[in-house]
Structures are given as structure tokens and as C-alpha cells.
Chains A and B, each alone.
Chain A
């Protein structure tokens, strides 16, 4: 007998996270990182927007899991989107208007990260009174680690996340 039921993963998902009218959907966040993603884009829940979070839900991509964040009535700016790449390099962004996906994009981990992350080295010139922003180059992409252009110190993924 043919089983016409939807797969358990999609049923459960549709019950957990409904469609939004306007806003941003951040999908395919690595499991357990949804709250860090909100931190990195500077959202703490006190802004008044409705935010839906699903964590460790089954992903349609094979037998993996993911987090999903839906932020109603806010469209993330490109610089905010690329910050997400630091902690969720495989995330995808859907901009929603009137229940329609009007823009889809994958987050892009840029080769150079300027001014977003602080160097962990207290002796780095970027942590002094000099007029200079932090500047990192990508050391590894999965997991992300960064190397400071000025002091050469490597900052690991956990230390990146802690800053948000």
C-alpha cells in the first residue's frame, strides 16, 4: 500500500514555524546556533518584532538538522547578512513580502572582515587609541577562524561567537 502521508520532518516543521507575511527568514543555520545568529545581527527580542525560532529541526537536506529563524517586519541589510556567515556559513536568507519570497540569497563569508569582530589580543594596535578598525582575513572556513592582519593572531570560532 502506498503511503501518501507527508514525511514526519515536514509535518513537524509546518506545525512549528508558520509562514510570515513580511520579514526575513534565515534558514539552514547550523543546529544550535539560532540564538547566536540573532545576537550577531543585534536582535535581542526587545525591539518588538515577532521572532520565531526553531532549533534542531530535521533538514530536508539528507538526514541532518538545522535551526530556522523568522523575523517579522524586518529585512536584514547586506552587511548584517554577511555577519551571519561568520557563525553560520551555510545559512540562506529569504526576504518575504506579502507572503512571497521576493529575494533569496546564501550568506557569503567575505575574504576580509573589517570592523565587525574585535581582535582578542589586548596588545594588538587595533585595540588601542589609534584610528584603525579591526581587519581579519579568513584562516579557515569550516569552522570559521580568522587571522588579524595587524598582529597575526588567530581567533577561533568560539571566540567569534562570544563577542556577540
Chain B
């Protein structure tokens, strides 16, 4: 039993999902239990993973290049922990809403388990299959309320991401044609030899992988689906989309670029890190500019996600230790902060309108949520006591260390724009409402519903805010989690 724990982390929530769909009883208890089980069994691997061991599990007992294998190292452990933690919070947050029935929890559990599968797999074809499962669950969750606009957003996302995943499969096919295996480590071993004979195929598959994962994580020329999908989905779904689904695309990119393509010679010839750096800078500035012009709160948060993804890409592009450290730390920070911000936005939208202009006076009506929103947005901007500061600071340091001081300036400039659009919301929160009479009945109803939802709706926000504050005050705690993962990234680069 204990030997099979890696696959149980994935299979257990998946099977519970089907039990929920069939029997429609004890929905919340079962889904909470299954995610808690996965979290606990993941944490069981923590000591050995952080000693530097790499745990690999072979399905059906067939060894690596032949069979399908799962791999838990510190990088995949870190990402899986983030996914399951945010997933747990999302389940708690959606408990009080009666509109979420068994279909919702079914899709949510499929989404979470297939994301963990995508992270653990050591096989590029399985990565494609599981990523497609993630994507299908995501389309249905975005269109969950079946509003017209959400359906359109979901269809838009479906078109873009299905084309992207086909591109990924084409890349997988050309890698398979050249190497005759699908196992990431085995391909990586054979890559220098293949590159010497036909470099074009390797470059083509690298471009295909970057394009497809770029669509998945909204790198700027490919970001068209994100603002609609993230802002029109139900709030807990937006939280999981912005917090972790985007990060899974990032994980696949990191795993493939730094685990598969980054043999020394290829990195020099293709210079994939320049691609990341340039597109990261474009993404950063574009996301910040577009967020500044938004009038809808959730849409602004969605563009802010694009902004932060750009920052992470820049950090990865430097190809040095502190850059990776900052980027991975920012992955964790952004997951905590942005999902909590979307939770807050869910409560804020319930009290009235989605428009930022009409939120005046919210800070007085609901001081606790407004206070959490302020703290979290300080984290996203990167103001010292919060965790966002630490990761942005590390990335800026890496920029100067790697000799791209101009990028440090770009990051600081983008942070200023970030501050501008978050402070605008905060300022409106604490200003007097313009027409107090028209807003009153709305707010009364909302307060009533907030009273009942209090425990389940507010606790995830408190927990995530507490985590971010803790990581901000004691950043070494977070860096302790991240440093072994950075070592995995550097393993293939510096030889």
C-alpha cells in the first residue's frame, strides 16, 4: 500500500469524483476528505524529497523507458503542494453556495487530480493527456453557470487551448520520432547526439512546446482567452484558474525547457532563455497597462495575473540561481495572493456590482474583507512586509547580477503601474458612496447572506492572508521550500 502512494495521490480524488457523480451523497465531506488524503500523503514524501531523493514510481512495475513512470522530486513536490493547498481552500470556499452541486465537485476533483498528475508524470505523452483532462474540466467549470458570456468565454478558451495542445502533441511526436522514447530523462540524454545531426527538428519541437505552453499560461501575444475566462467564471473557479491552472502550464514549460532541452550546447545555440526574458518583459508591461484601463474588478485581477506571469518568466529567463529562486518563490506567492484576491472579489461582487466605480463605501460596510483585500494587494504590488516584495526583490537582484539592469527598471516601472491600479480600487473602497440611497437595499441583503456564509467564505481568505504575511515576515521559510527545487533546475544547466 505504502509503495503505491504516489499513484494514490492522483487516483484517489479521481475515483472519489466518480463516486460523487454516481451517488450524489456526502458530496462535500467526500471531496474534502479526498483532497486532505492527497495532501497528507504528499506531505509524507516531504522528508525524503528534501533530503534530495528523487522518488520514482513505475506503473504496473515496468521500468522507466518502457513503462509509464511518475516522478516526485523537489520541483514537482513544490508545485503539487501549491495545487493541493489552493484546491483545499477552493473547496472550503464553495461549501456555502447551494448552486454548486455534485457536478461542480466532480469537475473540481477531476481538475485537481489531473493537475497533480500533470505535475508528477515523467513522460511527455502522459503530460499531454493529463493536460487535456485539466483543460476539459476547466472549460466546463468556466461555463458552470451557463450565462451567455461565460459560454462564449469558455468556447474561446476551448478553441485556443485545443489548438495549443495539438501543437504540443506535434512537438511530442517530433521528439519521439527522433529519440524513440517518451521518457523525459531518456530524451534529454539522447538530445545532444540528435542535435548534432538535425538541429531543425529540436528547434521546431522547442518552438512548438513554448507556443503551446505560452497559450496555456497567457504569454502576451497568446493571452486572448485569459481575461474573459478568468473574469466570467464563478469566483472560486477564477481563484483556482488564476492561482494554479496557469502555473501548471508554467510547470510544464519549466520541466521541458530546463529538464529536457537544456543540454549545454542546445541552450547556447537556441538561447531559449532569451525567448523567456523578452516575452516575459512584454507580458509584464502589457498586463500592467491593460489592468490599468479596466473598469471591472475581476477583469482587472485577470490582467494582473498576466502581469505577474510576465515577472515569473523574466525571473526564469536569467538562467542564474537567484533568478530561479525569485521566480519559483513568486509562483507560490502569486498562487496564495491571487486566489485570496479572487475570493475577496467573490464576496465584493455579492454586495453589489462588478464595476470598480460602484464599490464606494465597501470598506465601511465590510471592514474585514476590505482590510484583507488591502493587505493582499500590497503583496501583489510588492511592499516590504509582504511576500510579494521578497520575490520581486530577488528577481530584481538577479536582473542586476545577470547584467540586465534595464529589466530591473522595467520590473520597478511595472510595479508602479500595479500600485496605481490596486490603489485606485482601495481608494474607492474607503470613499463615501456617491448615491447612498440606491445602494442601501442591495447591501442589506448581502450582509445577511454574509452572516451565514461567514465561516466558510472568510476562513480561506484569512488562512491565505496569514500564509502570505508569514512568508513576508519570515521569507526564509518559503525559500527553504524552494531551494531544493532550484537545485533541480540548475542540475541540467551547469555541468
Partners in one complex: no
- Chain A residues close to B by CB (< 8 Å): none
By a beta-carbon cutoff of 8 Å, the part of chain B in contact with chain A is none
